Amino acid sequence: MPSPDLHRPDLFAQLLQGNRRALARTITLLESRKPEHQEQARALLQQLLPYTGKALRIGISGTPGAGKSTFIEAFGLHLIQQNLKVAVLTIDPSSGVSGGSILADKTRMEKLSSRPEAFIRPSPSAGVLGGVALHTREVMLACEAAGFEVILIETVGVGQSETLVSSLTDVFLMLTLPNAGDDLQAVKRGILELVDLVLINKTDLLPEKANLTQVQLESAFRLQKTAAKVLQISALQGKGIAQVWEHLKLWREKHAADLLHKRQDQQAAWFEEHLKQLVWLHFQAQVNPQKREALRQQARTGTMDPLNAAHLLLEDTHGEKHFPEDH
C-alpha cells in the first residue's frame, strides 16, 4: 500500500477545505492497521471533532435487488440539485466472507460517482463486521469535516449490519419491493423497529401490489406504535425521490431535539463498544497462550467447567480477583 503521505502538515487544512485527495488520504489513515498510523488517526479524529456533526446521517438498507444503488444514484443527484454535497458509504457484511463484495461486483452509481459534489466509498474488502463499521463511523466524521452535508450509509438487509447502521445514523430507510413477502418477514424479526421510513420501490411494475404492501406495512407500524412512514417510489423513473427528501427535511426539523439525544446515546454506546474491544485486545496481549490453551483443553474435555476455566485464566492473567462476584 502506498504511504498515505500522512506527515504533510496541510492534510487537515486541505480536508477542511473539502479537498478530495486529502479526504482519501485521511480515510487511508483512519483505516490503517499500523499502530503508528492508528495513533495519528486518533489525534486527527480529535482535531476533526469540532467540524463534524452538521450532516444528516441516513442509513439505507434493503435486500439485494431492491434497488438501493438505483435509488442512491437518483436521490444523490437530487440532493446535488439542491446544492448539497453527498457522501455514500457502504457496510457490506458479505465482503470478506465471500472474498468479494456483492455490492462492488457491478458498476454502481455511475452518474453520481462522476460528480464532484459526491463522494462514494465502497465497502472495505475485508474485516470483521464490527471492525468495518468502526471505521465507517470515523470515515463518516471525516466526510462531515470535509463539508459533506448528507451522509448515506448503505447496507444489505442482514439483521446485524442494520443494527450497526442504525447506531451510526440519524434516520433509517428501508427499501422494499411491491411484493414484499420476504421483507415483511423482517417486520417479525424486529428490523422494522429500527426503521423510520420504508420506501416501496419499483412501483412502476406492480402498482396494485405496492398499494397492498403499503397498507400491510402501515398496519404493522400501527401495531408497533411507531411513527414510521411508508412512501412509494420508482427509483428507475425518478418518481417520488423529491418527496423522500422533503419528508426527511421535515423529519429532521420535527426531531431536532430527539436527534441530539440520539447522537449522544450513540456516542456513549460507541464508547462502551470501543472499551470492550480495547479491554479484549489488552487481555489478548497479556494472556499466557500456553495457559490459555491448557485451560481451553480442560474445558473442552470436561475436566473443568468452562466458567471456572475462564475465571481461572482471568485470575491468572491479572493476578488477582477483581471482577464481578456474580459472574
Task: Summarize as ranges the residues that interact with ligand GDP (CB under 6 A).
Answer: 62, 64-70, 201-202, 204-205, 234-236
DSSP 180-203: -HHHHHHHHTTGGGG-SEEEE--T
**Of the two residues 235 and 313, which places its CB atom closer to ligand GDP in the complex?**
235
**Of the two residues 37 and 202, which places its CB atom closer to ligand GDP in the complex?**
202
> C-beta of 158: minimal distance to ligand GDP in Å?
13
Q: How far is CA 108 from CA 85, 103, 113, 122, 214, in A?
A: 18, 8, 8, 10, 28
Quote helix, strand, coil % in the chain, to nearest 5.
55, 10, 35
**Of the two residues 32 and 201, which places its CB atom closer to ligand GDP in the complex?**
201
H helices present in 90-158, as ranges: 110-113, 129-145
**Of the two residues 40 and 213, which places its CB atom closer to ligand GDP in the complex?**
213
**Of the two residues 53 and 65, which places its CB atom closer to ligand GDP in the complex?**
65
Amino acid symbol at 82: Q
The three-class DSSP label of residue 61 is strand
**Measured between alpha carbons, how far is 318 from 206 in angstroms, rounded to an integer?**
63
> C-beta of 74: minimal distance to ligand GDP in Å?
9
**Of the two residues 94 and 298, which places its CB atom closer to ligand GDP in the complex?**
94
**Measured between alpha carbons, how far is 98 from 91 in angstroms, rounded to an integer?**
14
* Phi (first) and psi of residue 55, to 5 degrees: -80, 160
DSSP 7-31: T-TTHHHHHHTT-HHHHHHHHHHHH
> C-beta of 201: minimal distance to ligand GDP in Å?
5
**Of the two residues 69 and 95, which places its CB atom closer to ligand GDP in the complex?**
69
**Of the two residues 68 and 85, which places its CB atom closer to ligand GDP in the complex?**
68
> C-beta of 44: minimal distance to ligand GDP in Å?
32
> C-beta of 140: minimal distance to ligand GDP in Å?
20
3-state secondary structure 202-269: CCCCCHHHHHHHHHHHHHHHHHHCCCCEEEECECCCCECHHHHHHHHHHHHHHCHHHHHHHHHHHHHH
> C-beta of 114: minimal distance to ligand GDP in Å?
17
**Cell triple for 306:** 468452562
* Phi (first) and psi of residue 48, to 5 degrees: -75, -30
> C-beta of 182: minimal distance to ligand GDP in Å?
13
121 forms bridges with which residues in the sheet?
Answer: 89
> C-beta of 301: minimal distance to ligand GDP in Å?
47
**Of the two residues 26 and 75, which places its CB atom closer to ligand GDP in the complex?**
75
Q: How many CB atoms lie within 10 A of CB 143?
A: 28
> C-beta of 202: minimal distance to ligand GDP in Å?
4
